[in-house]
Structure 1
Amino acid sequence: MLAILGITAPIFILIAIGFFACRSGLISRDQAAGMGRFVITFALPALVIRALLERPLAEVFDWYYVLAYGLGSLLVFGLGYAFARLVRKDSLSGSAMVGLGVSVSNSGFIAYPIVAMALGSPAGVALALGMIIENVLMIPLALTLAELGRQSGGVGKALRGTARSLIRHPVLVAITAALLMAILELHPPPVAMRVIDMLATAAAPVALFVIGASLSGMKPGGLVMDVSQVAVGKLILHPLMVLLCFTLLPVSNPVLASAGVLMAAAPMMSIYPILGARYGLEGRCAAGLVVATVLSFLSVSVFIWAVG
């Protein structure tokens, strides 16, 4: 147990430092937002490039991992969406946001630092592959369904709007560039690679600090059922479903599979409330993010113990 706490405690201490720094006024929310943009625009892309270039592409890209993690995420998305739509009679947009909340992890800001401390270098590969699945499959699926519930423009309009946003996403641009360099066996010059290393090293601590700062202004009150549904689905069902799919589709590297389970055990992405705001669901999504992030201290510790 002390070994597990040695992994998880520094993660949540950094989150707490960011929370109290913003709550006490040492930094403003605008300053924290600027740090978050630094992570998304520079640090995480550098981290992805380093992960995809430090080993031959055949060792990095594992189709079984992509299939298993993607299938597990799709299954839990479907369960969350169906429960919200059929049982709780939620709107199409609301159900899509529930599906998104239970199936897409905070890969770069929380999951990667945890997996890196627990398992080491496979964390970078899991991050890169997980972000491909999230940004190419899960987020477009959820946003397309949510847009269908919001406008009368049809599937085509929703898909075009989602595609325009994703094409400009810095992490997706970095993944595309790194994959092309890996396929063509091109490598940045040593000076550029050192800059990439320095930016990549900054990703985890700055990201955790930003998560804490962003939580300082969120209030979860009055949404018990909504919050419970999303938190249970994200922290328990998602990693269990991914674990089941890894059992059915075993990857060549079992440590990478363990990294995938821990990635799935993280709370939902930090921009979840921002995406929900477009559909009038910012309060519900913010409440789910706050509760899931706090409870993830326990759930992640359990899954670290479970994967050994």
Structure 2
Amino acid sequence: MLEILAITTPIFLLIGAGYLAMGIRLINREQVQGVATFVLYFALPALVIRALTQSPLDEVLQKPYLLAYGLGSALVFGLALLLTLTLQRKPLSEGALHALGVSASNSGFIGYPVAAMVLGSSPAAVFLALNMMIENLLIIPMALILAEAGRQSGTGIGAIAGKTFLRLIRNPILIGLALGLLLAVTETSLPRPLAQVVEMLANAAGPAALFVIGGTLFGLQVRGMLRDVGQIVVGKLVLHPLAVLGLFLLMPAADPTLLAGALLFACAPMISVYPLLGQRYGMAGVSAAALMVGTLAAFLSLSLAIWAIQAAGLLPIG
């Protein structure tokens, strides 16, 4: 257990450093947002580019991972949407945001740093790139299209999907994915100075992202939203990993490293922009509270995931 804490404790100490820096007013929210912008627009795209170009493309594009993690995430998304719409009678926009919260992991800011410490930076970066494909090409667009459809009743689904697509193609992560895939497909190597810049930016992604999470959590409160927050957090940290695990077990001879990586990413809390999207669709309080509770609870879920990986012999840790 001590070796597991040795992995997870530094992650949450870095989150705590960001929280403390906000608490003692060493930095303000605008400065945290500046670091977040650096991570989102520079560090994470560089990390994705490095992941896609450091190995042959057929070794990076792991179809079993894409299939199991993608279907598991979509299954949990659909289940959460069905629950909120039929049993709780919530509006479509709110149901879509609930579904997003339980099915899209904070892959860049928490999933990757944890996986890098457990599996090593190279495989963790590959899993990050695969998760970014699943989340940015499937889960997030699906949620935004449904949320917009609920808010703009009467507008054609084609027009809503078109607007969502135009917003998403400006996403720096998707731009990094496109550049990385282009370099990998054409087998083009970056000039040495550019490659060094990509390497330096990629190495900065993990610690900077964790610091941002801590600063973002400062000041968030959970009041009067226990049921909704509880459903989202339990869905994300329990149902999502179980669904991904179930899909992997249905596959013949699943690669243990792929399974270990998928579980670590699935046990991460919801995406960091969840409160921003929630604010757009009338769920500002619930989404912010869910992010805070989910991030704190992820200390337990990730520790349990690492223990389970070790106990099952999927990965020798230590």
Q: Give yes or no for TM over 0.5.
A: yes
- Equivalenced residues, count: 308
Contact 1:276-1:285 at 8 Å conserved across structures:
yes
Shift of 1:63: 1.2
> Secondary structure of 1:186's partner?
coil
Runs of 4+ that moved beyond 4 A: none
Equivalent-residue separation in structure 1 for 2:218 and 2:12 (angstroms): 14
Sequence identity (%): 53
Which residue is equivalent to 2:221?
219
TM-score (norm. length: structure 1): 0.98
Whether 2:22 is the aligned partner of 1:22: answer: yes
Whether 2:211 is the aligned partner of 1:209: answer: yes
Whether 2:165 is the aligned partner of 1:163: answer: yes
Which residue is equivalent to 1:229?
231
Deviations 1:212-238 (A, max 9, x none): 000002111110100110000000110
Equivalent-residue separation in structure 1 for 2:241 and 2:174 (angstroms): 24
Which residue is equivalent to 2:316?
none
Shift of 1:122: 1.2
Which blocks of at least 5 consecutive residues in structure 1 are unaligned?
none
Shift of 1:48: 0.4
Contact 1:32-1:214 at 8 Å conserved across structures:
yes
TM-score (norm. length: structure 2): 0.95
Deviations 1:59-96 (A, max 9, x none): 11011111111000000111111111111111111110
- After TM superposition, list the pairs within 5 Å mapping 1:252-263 onto structure 2: 253-263=255-265
Which residue is equivalent to 1:288?
290
Shift of 1:253: 3.4
- After TM superposition, list the pairs within 5 Å mapping 1:109-120 onto structure 2: 109-120=109-120
Whether 2:263 is the aligned partner of 1:298: answer: no
Whether 2:8 is the aligned partner of 1:8: answer: yes
> Secondary structure of 1:217's partner?
coil
Contact 1:242-1:264 at 8 Å conserved across structures:
yes
> Secondary structure of 2:55's partner?
coil
Equivalent-residue separation in structure 2 for 1:250 and 1:2 (angstroms): 33
Shift of 1:256: 2.1
Whether 2:52 is the aligned partner of 1:49: answer: no
Shift of 1:190: 1.4
254-263 or 129-138, larger mean C-alpha shift:
254-263
Equivalent-residue separation in structure 1 for 2:265 and 2:235 (angstroms): 14
The root-mean-square deviation of aligned C-alpha atoms, in Å, is: 1.0
> Secondary structure of 2:90's partner?
coil
274-283 or 37-46, larger mean C-alpha shift:
274-283
